[in-house]
Amino acid sequence: MNDTVKMFLISLITAVLVQVLLGPQIQRMQQQQHQGAAPVAVAPAPVQAAPTQPTPQAPAQPAPQAEAAIPAPEFVGTTIKDARKIAVSQSIIIIQDGDREAPDKTPGEILEQNPTAGTMLTSTREIRVIVARAREAKVPNLVGKPIAEAKSTLAGLGVEFTEVPKDSSKTPGTILSQKPAAGVKVQPGTSVELTIAALPLIEVPAVTGKYLNKAKTVLKDSGLDVGDVKRVEHEEHGENYVLKQDPAAGAKVPFGTTITLTVVAPN
């Protein structure tokens, strides 16, 4: 067999093997070509952003001007109430830092100030002051004393008082207790509560059926007073005959209570 025939046979065998081995794959590729190529993803077109509008800027505010410095007024010798009225008009604030007893000064009168008068006040317009306090009085021991003496003692100290009557075996008008207690310091004008032995109640005697002069004597002897005398006409009884009394007989009343009488008027 010559070389030409050999080459032919080799080529034939090779073609057969290629067909057998690669045939199925070639057929699939051909089918895919007939069905069309797979769609290619297309990126969406970029959206163009709206143009940015510039933010409006607020007009620049002028810087606040510092208040002009002013000299501190003279407040010493003025009451703090009056000083504050003056200070308001100058935008000054008065601050009370304390007080102290000053017998020769009016309570509330400014004794000291800081800064002192004439000092220039700039951004901080505050003035601190010390004011006069009224002299305190020490409450005396009044228990056991008569009310008249207690009144006189308290009046000399400039202290007020109130009375609270209470039934007691003590002599009427005697101080039984006091509030505040003795030794407590109080401001002038403070009120001290005094509990006093009450005057005994008196039973009003019967004076109806008596004549006016006799009725007055009976009532006064009982510690009672006679008030207005009312006069009415009456046919059965004579002039000044007591027809009625108020309060009525038997009523319990304090010592010195006024009794009103109704008597027969002159014919």
Q: What is the CATH number of the domain that holds 143?
A: 3.30.10.20
Predicted pLDDT at 256: 84
In a domain, 39, yes or no: no
Predicted pLDDT at 172: 86
186: its two tokens = 């109080």
| Share above pLDDT 70 across residues of the chain, in percent, rounded to a whole number | 80
Predicted pLDDT at 57: 65
Cβ neighbours of 83 (radius 10 Å) = 25
Same domain membership, residue 143 and residue 123: no
Predicted pLDDT at 33: 61
In a domain, 65, yes or no: no
Same domain membership, residue 76 and residue 117: yes
Predicted pLDDT at 117: 94
**Boundary-marking domain end, from 159, 179, 197:** 197
Closest CA to 263 of 236, 247, 243: 243
Predicted pLDDT at 63: 57
Q: Please state the domain count of the chain.
A: 3
Same domain membership, residue 216 and residue 173: no
In a domain, 232, yes or no: yes
Predicted pLDDT at 109: 94
| CA 235 – CA 239 distance, rounded (Å) | 10
| Residue 86 per-residue DSSP state | H
Closest CA to 94 of 75, 107, 108, 111: 75
Question: Which portions of the chain are predicted below pLDDT 70?
Answer: 1-2, 5, 16, 18, 20, 22-26, 29-67
Same domain membership, residue 207 and residue 224: yes
Long-range contact pairs involving 181-187 (C-beta distance under 8 Å, separation at least 24) = 181/139, 182/139, 182/140, 182/141, 182/142, 182/143, 183/138, 183/139, 183/141, 184/138, 184/139, 185/136, 185/137, 185/138, 185/139, 186/136, 186/137, 186/139, 186/159, 187/134, 187/136, 187/137
In a domain, 45, yes or no: no
Alpha carbon distance, N-terminus to C-terminus of the chain:
198
Residue 262 · residue 243 · CB < 8 Å: yes
Q: Which domain holds residue 256?
A: 202-264
Q: Which residues pair with 174 in a beta bridge?
A: 146
In a domain, 26, yes or no: no
Give the SS3 label for residue 35. helix
Same domain membership, residue 83 and residue 122: yes
In a domain, 141, yes or no: yes
Q: Where do runs of H (alpha helix) occur along 158-242?
A: 212-221
Same domain membership, residue 164 and residue 142: yes
**Residue 44: phi, psi to the nearest 5?**
-65, 150
Predicted pLDDT at 240: 95
**Boundary-marking domain end, from 149, 174, 197:** 197
**Boundary-marking domain end, from 150, 169, 197:** 197
Exposure string of 62-73, with b = 16+ CB inside 10 Å and e = fewer, is eeeeeeeeeebb
In a domain, 166, yes or no: yes
In a domain, 254, yes or no: yes
